[in-house]
Amino acid sequence: MDAEVGGGSAPKRDAPQPFTLVIFGASGDLTHRKLIPAVYRLFQEGLLPERFAVVGFARSPKSDEAFRAELRKAVETFSRAKPAGDDDWAPFAARLHYHRGDYQNAADFQALAARLDALAAASGAPRNCLFYLATPPEMIQAITDQVRAAGLAEAGGASSPWSRIIIEKPFGRDLASARALNAHVQGAFAENQIFRIDHYLGKETVQNILVLRFANALFEPIWNHKYVDHVQITVAETVGVEGRGAYYDHAGAIRDMAQNHMMHLLCLVGMEAPNSLDSEAVRSEKVKVLKTLHLIPPTCVGDRVVRAQYAAGTLAGQPVPGYREEPAVAPDSLTETYVALKTFIDNWRWAGVPFYLRTGKRLPARITEIGIHFKPVPQVLFNAPPFGPMAPNVLTLRIQPNEGISLQFQVKRPGWGIRIESFEMDFGYAAAFGGEPPEAYERLLLDAALGDSTLFTRSDEVEAAWAFLTPILEGCAGQPITRLPAYPAGSWGPAEADALIESDGRRWTLMKRHTHRSTAKTK
């Protein structure tokens, strides 16, 4: 992470060394919607080195020209920075190349190596390579083997080129498969060459969690079991499976969202202060949180974990089908599209503080939010009749959308008597800083090109997350059910998830935004 004191000017970063970005899966959705728009934006901002190129690798035959035309369309459709015309596009297009190849064919990788050599020789730069695996996870082992066999996995040194590899989520399906995958990839690349990406960590608001906690004297003294009653983390999506039913039906909400996005948020809220912003220091503190999570054994899954599937319903006024009716989803599928769970961090700071996590598809709004719910004040004076009971303070970190931070607190309504109301003190990124923050993929691609792995998942981190979730998956797999609880698309989830938190005397809460008068509203 950049440490910038004072603010005002843009963070100062070194420019990456000359390099070639090799994208495997260059014809895919991720490449078109996220990667190339991000690379184009970095190029436009002058953040990439002069000697920089992209080589797209995929199976279908295609010319460089056809590839460039395809990517121009992608940038025009998905980028927040659109080319103004041919002259604007040409310098970027000249750096785009296409390489047809099969992931199982060694000769295609030898040819790729020769092409990368030729590109490097033509530019007079070392053959530094950043490989991006934008392919289905089943391809990871084959590609890393082929890259190594083609002599393209150089660790780099003072006079030799470097290579790094970015691997998309999901990384494994459970603890055993993640361990095996780590061992396999580490057989080809050293850990400091491996960048396991979860784009959530590239979001400004996620990075700001550490700044909020450790750059302010105010929060840290009360960030513990003495003052915090509980924590809620909500990752709500409005989308369904979006044409990815075949993938999703083998994944589900636990593997697709909880294992990565939600675990990262939980770690950043729960971790101790690292002694520096060094990537190893930050990630070691995150791992400690994962290792102290209170395990939910398979036999307790029924009490502490709620899974559900969306049924047909209405979203934004439009009828939408149920999960089992989605294309490529099994009609008797038991894959969850919603999960809620309760866990604890078993250390002194967080002893006895429940962390409630929930994520789901086809919910009424796209919202990612962390709520730190403080303990109520004593039930004397204001928190007692005739004034109370009062709502406790809640600090809400809005990760997306309407990125910002709110503090709900009590004030006296002006007038002769004493009437207490809850208000929100609100900080919004857009209002404070204007403009849009960099896209997560922009930030992360640049970090990987610079060799900074702070915002990428380390091998022990990915395994520790799976170590927590695998017993839950085992418990789910062992449940003798033919159908999961259902929630109508467009609702906030199943009644069972409400019962999970309400049985503890609490309620799911989301910040009521765009207003200054509030009592936190349920859901």
Ligand X SMILES: NC(=O)c1ccc[n+]([C@@H]2O[C@H](COP(=O)([O-])OP(=O)(O)OC[C@H]3O[C@@H](n4cnc5c(N)ncnc54)[C@H](OP(=O)(O)O)[C@@H]3O)[C@@H](O)[C@H]2O)c1
Q: Which residues are catalytic?
A: 261
Residue with tokens 């697709």: 256
Q: With respect to ligand X, which residue has the nearer C-beta, 228 or 448?
A: 448
Buried b (16+ CB within 10 A) or exposed e, 434-463: eeebbbbbbbbbbbbbbbbbbbbbbbbbbb
Which are the contacts of 76, defined by CB distance < 8 A and separation ≥ 6?
A: 82, 83
Q: With respect to ligand X, which residue has the nearer C-beta, 77 or 379?
A: 77
Torsion of CA 183, 186, 191, 197, to 10 degrees: -80
Q: Which residue is nearest to ligand X (CB)?
A: 28
For the sheet with 420-428, list strands across it: 420-428, 404-412, 394-400, 367-374, 228-236, 354-360, 338-344, 305-311, 486-488
At its nearest, how many Å lie between ligand X and the CB of residue 108?
11
Q: With respect to ligand X, which residue has the nearer C-beta, 30 or 448?
A: 30
At its nearest, how many Å lie between ligand X and the CB of residue 139?
5
Closest CA to 334 of 468, 477, 492: 477
For 196-233, what is the HEC assignment? ECCHHHHCHHHHHHHHHHHCCCCCHHHCCCCCEEEEEE
At its nearest, how many Å lie between ligand X and the CB of residue 288?
27
The count of other CB atoms within 10 Å of the CB of residue 377 is 15
At its nearest, how many Å lie between ligand X and the CB of residue 245?
12
At its nearest, how many Å lie between ligand X and the CB of residue 136?
5
Task: Please say whether the beta carbons of 293 and 344 come within 8 A.
Answer: yes
Task: Please say whether the beta carbons of 363 and 236 come within 8 A.
Answer: yes
Task: Please say whether the beta carbons of 356 and 484 come within 8 A.
Answer: no
Q: With respect to ligand X, which residue has the nearer C-beta, 26 or 48?
A: 26
Question: What whole-number distance in Å separates Cα of residue 366 and Cα of residue 269?
Answer: 21
Residues that bind ligand X (CB under 6 A): 25, 27-30, 33-34, 58-60, 103, 134-137, 139, 168-169
Reported in sequence order, the residue ranges of 292-441 that DSSP labels E, i.e. its strands, are 305-311, 313-315, 318-320, 338-344, 354-360, 367-374, 394-400, 404-412, 420-428
At its nearest, how many Å lie between ligand X and the CB of residue 243?
9
Q: With respect to ligand X, which residue has the nearer C-beta, 28 or 485?
A: 28
Q: With respect to ligand X, which residue has the nearer C-beta, 142 or 295?
A: 142
